[in-house]
Amino acid sequence: MLNLPDESISHRFDDDNPLVWPILSLLNSQDEPWKVHHLVTALREQAILPEFVGEPNQVLFKANFLVMNALFQLQQFVLPTQRLSVSSLHIALSDVKGDELALVGDDKNALADYYLDWRHFDAEEDEITELLTSFWLRYQQAFVTTTTGLARDKALAVFELDADTAPRLICKRWRELALRWHPDREGGDSAQFRLVCQAWQVLKP
């Protein structure tokens, strides 16, 4: 267990697992439920999830942790119009009908609390930062196709935000835009999603 300052890793990295977006694509790519180890394999085939070095059990745990962390983040992002069921052997995304909206609650549980807390990843803060940054580079290479940066004023224009916008509002806007334009969602647009991803790389706190 890490000795953490008051501003814990679990809060600081709560919105910053870019595996959310390739996982959303995978969930939409088939009707059958997924299993965690199948998602891990698919992400490695896309060269997005790195190959860890170490004891086999530790390598397996870290890969599974990163995927589960992303799944539980995504579970909250897609509410209230979709529901994401998450367990190690059954991962499925389903639409919520209009008459079911009032019944959709917060699916967070002890398992979600565990995987959303980066202290359980057993890594130093700098290691987690480097890991998440590497995810973005891999994801950009696989999907965004260009890592050309935007100027900050251009990135703010993409997000339709002012220069003095608070970091938490930037994160909130990122989730809204990423979900709106993700190409695997109804009304999504690949080009706009790429632009939003590039802007996020400039603006993320």
Environment class of 1 (CB within 10 Å of its CB; exposed 0-12, middle 13-18, buried 19+): exposed
Q: How many CB atoms lie within 10 A of CB 67?
A: 25
Residue range 60-85, pLDDT digits in tens: 888 889 999 999 999 888 877 888 99
Q: Are 20 and 73 in contact (CB under 8 A)?
A: yes
* Mean of per-residue pLDDT scores for the chain: 79
For the stretch 163-177, pLDDT in tens is 999 988 998 898 889
CA distance 89 to 24: 17
CATH superfamily of the 146-205 domain: DnaJ domain (1.10.287.110)
pTM for this structure? 0.70
Residue boundaries of the structural domains of the chain? 1-145, 146-205
pLDDT grade for 139, boundaries at 50, 70 and 90: low
- Give whichever of 20-29, 96-105, 119-128, 179-188 has the largest mean pLDDT: 20-29
